[in-house]
Structure 1
């Protein structure tokens, strides 16, 4: 493997450039048009701006211009979901939030639009980890975060019931497009440049972006993109999507054709029924983008990268041991783990159909010093979601797309020695929210330096179409250059997990939800 070091001196310099931005001095009147915001983190914040309205299972329409002053000082309700039970939830969830160094329409700052994770079923941008004030201040950008419809309300496939529901399988995606329409039309008033819009998202948010780049209605609404542990190689086919809708109907004890009852029943009943078993993949019911041949006329990265996305520069990233975040190292799945039961514990966690006894034997030969726990987390990460990122990066490289940059976050959490570098751990580094509830980054020098380099990389892409780290080599074949981010350091390494990549490529990758 070859590597290029990004030295501590280089990264400290980048961080100094970020931190030195005089954001407080630029924050002026917390009012833009009818919206009355507030000062927060040295910038102006506008929370709970409505961008659309919708009837259940129908396409949202844009919110008309306000005719009276509107306080935009508190987050609005989030989408109905099984997660986040302590937050106010409502089907009226078409709201976004804006943070800006100042609202000078002539400022022309790059715009960073964030879509949240939680697959397509849960999540919200009101999570303190994704508050945009620090990123706006230190990165000198306008930050927009978006809530939208989720789960069955945003992705249930109802077209077989009635053609008027033809958009139903992609309503959540169409909500995001409507929010991007709002950004195009209004962000200049908040100091943003509508010709420099970058979308970025973690986990499900990244998957939503990967889907958007195959949706004709999203063409031209963003000019660069970054996905963080979120891929979408293929969407759900309409037949599988219909099986899921029928399972939902059965869980609700509705007649198979009673779509009117589904449309009018209390939303709480629908959310409760999401716990039914998925008829395709097992686990709870999955609802995500549907290959409906109109809003989504092709899969995002199968059989190749969607042509409409090839001109969009992208960052694609993952963390080293994703599954440590949702398979608790102190929980029952790891209790009593040993070589005798390791294969059986791995099997239900992976999405690539290989003989797990053979997989474990290969790992033990390749890494004889590893413990069963190390093999478990490495195999479940590499056999579950990471191959999707490899496929996306490879397909973009094959197609000669605009430059793609790939990163791998290796920095372990200093707060929990069993967590390692896990799913979601890159969020506070990009947003600068190291001290937010839920952050596992710590506040030490390594955390601050990692924040500075990640924020510099992302804001650089938003501003110029290239990451703000000059030595980060684009991903091409066969080299597969990858920025490996450690404890405040970073090194460009060719194909750092080549052995695992080749092992798991022995069989096809199955996209969760497909």
Structure 2
């Protein structure tokens, strides 16, 4: 058995673990409502404690001490039948009061590394709203969260936003968007003028942002003060909206977590996975998937079952945004040319990003990385000439799992993030951070790996959200860090500046000044050997 090939497949299967931190738990299907009651966007919207009148109809949510939740609100029509691989259409208005006390189903996906539930439900374009308890006559900042998951797993309902809403006095919106082959299939047969293939998931996110623009006031929010934020694939989505012309004006601040805008190929994906890819690369992938299904036209593809499509696309893995439709330029190109939305940005990573992915290898294969694996994997990715330099810079002196994680953390995340900070800061106020709590609790549903997980990819999520993936209680010191981060994030959402509230001062990025969250200030570029990686062209 080729263990390296097995490990590579295991990483493809499980890359969404850290990219999303997504675990679903038997979420209920949305209520059905297909009658029209004549509600229009011009109607007056208002709210009582548990009932809100939106532009499409009335919803009743859940009221708790200090906060309210409204779950499973449709923001677009179900993308089924002829709407599979089409731009999102408006949700149909409903009569009466719609139950908004339960989340809707996740978009189609396979089971994931840490217990992510599979889904075969295409009727999934719903969002969730969490507000403070009393929002009457308020105009609170709105925070719009895009979940990660490698663009092929995850859901908005995983991320309980009570602490953000209560602690920061903000409105928080989370959403589902089409994933994998359903959200990001690029194929020449799908380019019919109105609908550009490859970016339906991004178009869903734009439709949800327009829903926020039209409905924020109903929940006590300010449609003119929206902060777009996301982690991993959600961070890359945020980068994409910075570069997307149709997203301009729909948000006023952005927070990018572990999804640097300039990231390119990452092991084991030389052409990219959760990164924005050239149209030609995406269409080759789409044509290969269609051929696997025996299809050469759209009608054939739309006639295939969800399970057939998931199987033919390897669970939707490796699909993601492509240039040429929603994105005239990739985020990296947009930042390099200055052609992106000029709004304040927070951008950062975790200190030990890639340990999550090496843990995934171990969990799926039962194989612990060896010294031979370490050397071979680097040679496979970089080729013999560059690999020799990498191995000289990163000699194996300890645990091979930690060593492999360090190479990919530095090259694919940390130094890429530093390059993103430098480009952003030329045009907009930029606040750079590194989440550095080395004792962050490991995900509850995942087998603990054989090595320390440190500040792993997605570890910061439990400091911002009530996330069922992370059930280990935070220590007193970690709760203080959580409060500090929530303060930074929500003050930034309010003013475009995270400072205040007695928290340590956070300077705008000046070339190398990265704010530590949960650790001591260090020389970021030196710690992650960014000069070396620049010498290799990364």
Return the TM-score normalized by structure 2: 0.78
Residue 5 of structure 1 is matched in structure 2 by: none
Distance 2:243 2:111 in 1: 28
Q: Residues of 2 paired with 1:150 and 1:345: CA distance? A: 29
**Equivalences, count:** 457
CA contact (8 A) 1:413 1:442 kept: no
- Is 1:404 equivalent to 2:404 in the alignment? no
1:505 deviates by 1.7
Equivalent residue, structure 2, for 1:81: 109
Question: Which of 226, 234, 237 pairs up with 1:205?
Answer: 234
**In structure 1, C-alpha distance between the alignment counterparts of 2:384 and 2:481, rounded to whole Å:** 36
Give the deviation of 1:306 after TM superposition. 5.8
2:174 is matched with which residue: 126, 141, 145? Answer: 145
Conserved? CA contact 2:196–2:326, under 8 Å: yes
The C-alpha deviation readout for 1:429-485, integer Å capped at 9, x for no partner, is 122x2xx432276421122012011111111110110114451111122xx111122
Which residues of structure 1 form unaligned runs of 5+?
1-26, 277-283, 510-514
Which residue of the partner structure matches residue 218 of structure 2? 189
Are 1:460 and 2:494 counterparts? Answer: no
- Matched residues in 1 for 2:163 and 2:392: separation? 46
Unaligned runs of 5+ in 2: 1-46, 265-275, 443-447
Q: Is the 8 A contact 1:213 1:306 kept in 2?
A: no
1:224-250 CA-partner distances (Å, limit 9, x unpaired): 111111134373112111100111012
Instruction: Name the CA shift for 1:242/1:139 in 2 (closer, same or farther; >3 Å).
Output: same
Q: For residues 71-102 of structure 1, give each alpha carbon's deviation from its aligned partner in whole angstroms, at most 9, with x where no partner exists.
A: 10100011111245635541111100001014
Cα distance in 2, alignment partners of residues 174 and 262 from structure 1: 20
Moved more, 417-426 or 62-71: 62-71
1:313 and 1:465 in contact (8 A); partners too: yes
Aligned to 2:476: 445
TM superposition shift of 1:174: 0.7
Residue 496 of structure 1 and its aligned partner are, at CA, apart by 4.9
The correspondence for 2:464, drawn from 430, 440, 456, is: 430
What corresponds to 2:289 in structure 1?
248
Check the 8 A contact 1:154/1:168 in 2, yes or no: no
- 1:310–1:361 CA distance, 2 compared to 1 (3 A): same
**1:384 corresponds to which residue?**
412
Where 1:35 maps in the other structure, the secondary structure is: strand
Q: Which residue of 1 aligns with 2:313?
A: 274
Instruction: Tell me which residue corresponds to 2:386.
Output: 355
Is 1:69 aligned with 2:93?
Answer: no
- Mapped contact 1:99–1:136 kept (Cα < 8 A): yes
TM-score using structure 1 length: 0.82
Q: Is the 8 A contact 2:433 2:517 kept in 1?
A: no
Deviation string 1:339-380 (CA, Å, 9 cap, x unpaired) is: x553214455x689963333122123xxx9754443222112
In the alignment, the residues of structure 1 paired with residue 317 and residue 474 of structure 2 have an alpha-carbon distance, to the nearest angstrom, of 38
- Match of 2:198, SS? helix
Aligned partners of 1:82 and 1:372: how far apart in 2?
Answer: 30
SS of equivalent to 2:514: strand
**Is this contact kept in 2: 1:317–1:406, CA < 8 A?**
yes
